Amino acid sequence: MTTSGKDNSIPGAVVSRLTKYLTHAQVLRGEGVQWVSSSELGEELGLTSATVRKDLAHVSVGGITNRGYEVTVLCDALLSFLGVDVGWNAIVVGAGNLGKALALHGELFRHGFAICGVFDSDGRKVGMRVGGLTVRPMSELAATIHDERVDIGVIAVPAAAAQSVADLLIISGIRGLLNLSLIHIVAPSNVPVVDGRLVARMLELGHAVRTSAARGDTSDYRLGRVGRSEDA
């Protein structure tokens, strides 16, 4: 019954898992499931039940002893803990394919992120439409961040420009950065940077595939959720 909910600095790995609990709980809610236990969550997500319980103890969700966690309560607690209920204003810098894809990604909006601007240094891209937005020049970036109270900047520019874009965002008062560029971004400690570097992820995957092959892995495979049962 403790679950203090407001401890101090939760490790990034825990927060990362919390996002998984959230999306899985949302799936369960969509299926009309009412209760879920730590062991079920763990099994589905490849974790031990103890890890799940310890993680969830950071959030204000009380589990109930012989039932588990109530799915809707779990969803709400995680949404609130992750700040989805408050919502964020975000801008995307870089109107290339990736930047446009993010700006148009409905799932982001649905999770509390309002994309309120797309910027590009390329004059030929300025003025283009991206969904309901128009690509704006970099010169308007600082004022926009200030005037529209932008919290988050998404860096979707080539590696060579990424750090200077980050610097511009930072001196303009941005509060956090999602880095989609290839390189590591340096930022002051009060501006958290989260990496979404997909090429790097692909490199990690390549390595994993290779070592998996080297180990000669085989597996007793049972299909995932979709194949396993007839869902709602």
Kindly identify the residues of this chain, within the stretch 22-41, that bind a second copy according to CB under 8 A. Answer: 22-24, 27
For residues 55 and 50, give the distance between their C-alpha atoms in angstroms, rounded to a whole number: 8
If binding is defined by CB under 7 A, does position 81 make contact with DNA?
Answer: no
| Helical ranges in the chain per DSSP H | 12-30, 38-45, 49-57, 71-81, 97-103, 106-110, 141-147, 159-171, 198-215, 225-228
The residues with which 194 forms a beta bridge, in sequence order, are: 178
| Cα 89 → chain centroid | 14
Q: Which of residues 9-68 bind DNA (CB under 7 A)?
A: 11, 13-14, 37-39, 47-51, 53-54, 56-57, 61-68
Q: What are phi and psi of 207, to 5 degrees?
A: -60, -45
> Of the candidates 28, 95, 152, 169, which one interacts with a second copy according to CB under 8 A?
152
Distance of alpha carbon 205 from alpha carbon 217, whole angstroms: 15
User: Minimum distance between the CB of residue 125 and DNA, rounded to whole angstroms?
Assistant: 39
**How far is Cα 181 from Cα 57, in angstroms, rounded to an integer?**
34
Select from DNA, a second copy, none the partner in contact with residue 2, using the beta carbon and a kind-dependent cut-off of 5 to 8 Å.
DNA
Q: Does 170 bind a second copy (CB under 8 A)?
A: yes
Among 57, 73, 108, 142, binds a second copy (CB under 8 A): 108
What is the nearest approach in angstroms of a second copy to the Cβ of residue 208? 4
* Closest distance of CB 23 from DNA, Å: 18
Instruction: Report CA-CA distances (Å) from 88 to 48, 149, 150.
Output: 33, 9, 8
15/73 with CB nearer a second copy: 15
* Site residues for DNA per CB under 7 A: 1-3, 11, 13-14, 37-39, 47-51, 53-54, 56-57, 61-69
